[in-house]
Amino acid sequence: MNTLKQPTLALTLASFSLALASSANAVVISYWDFNDGFSEADKTLQIVHTASQGNGTLYQQRADTDGNGKGGVAYAGNGITATDGKAMAWDDVGKSGDNDAEFFVSFFTTGFKDINIRMDLQGNALGGIVSYDLKYDTNTLADVAYNGGTIKDFAGGTSTSFSNNTATGNPAAYTEISIDMSTATAINDQSVVVLRFDDLKENDDLRIDNIVITGTAIPEPSSTALLGLGGLALLLRRKK
């Protein structure tokens, strides 16, 4: 009687283990489609974009921000379907001094690891955008005075560099950019994560659309234990 029950238990635990494993696929943490319209004047120091899905706020700053946005691109992926609509845009991204275009993304990764960021980026036929820098921190952004107004910055000006002069392929048409941040383990399972994309090189206009931040769920301790039990049950079944 016990011999008959053990394979059934093994198969049940194995099935549960497989279900848990399949649930560990990338999950959308934050998404911006920029299709809700804009109500800011051009050259505004800071334009705030709330996430279209999930959690998070994006701060578009410096240079010549486009308060009305520009034409975007459709997107389908990660369970999301979006029309072309609008895109976050700058009319001039390479001004002299410290006025280069940049944007901060603030969100939380509680319960997630292996963070990935994807976006659609378009430069222009005169040269496009050739590279960017990416930095991160796990402290709430601070308000700082700038050029007669207020913008966001890293608390205390402190951050960690993830990449410098990352090439974009000089896109004059919308091109997907994907950034695997799984090696930045400091941003896993955090109540606050902030990213800054800056030093967007080359002059003239820039458009960014469909920013998607994903992560994989961190298994609960009980789930991890059940996965182990599933494997043990299969091993026992094979020995029988």
pLDDT for 167: 81
Residues 165-198: tens digit of each pLDDT: 888 876 788 989 999 999 999 999 999 999 999 9
| Cα–Cα distances in angstroms (integers) from residue 222 to residues 17, 112, 128, 218, 226, in the given order | 12, 16, 50, 12, 6
Q: Which residue has the higher pLDDT, 59 or 98?
A: 59
pLDDT for 106: 98
- Calculate the average pLDDT of the chain: 83
pLDDT for 63: 86
Return the C-alpha torsion angle 149, 100, 161, 142, nearest 10: 10
Question: Is the pLDDT at 7 greater than 50, yes or no?
Answer: no
141 neighbors 192 (Cβ within 8 angstroms)? no
Kindly report the number of other CB atoms within 10 A of residue 231's CB atom: 14
Residue among 158, 160, 209, 162 nearest 181 (CA): 162
Give me the mean pLDDT over the 12-21 stretch: 41
All domains of the chain in start order, with CATH: 25-216 (2.60.120)
- The answer to whether the predicted template modeling score (pTM) of the entire model surpasses 0.85 is no
- If you count them, how many residues does the chain have? 240
Give me the mean pLDDT over the 94-107 stretch: 81
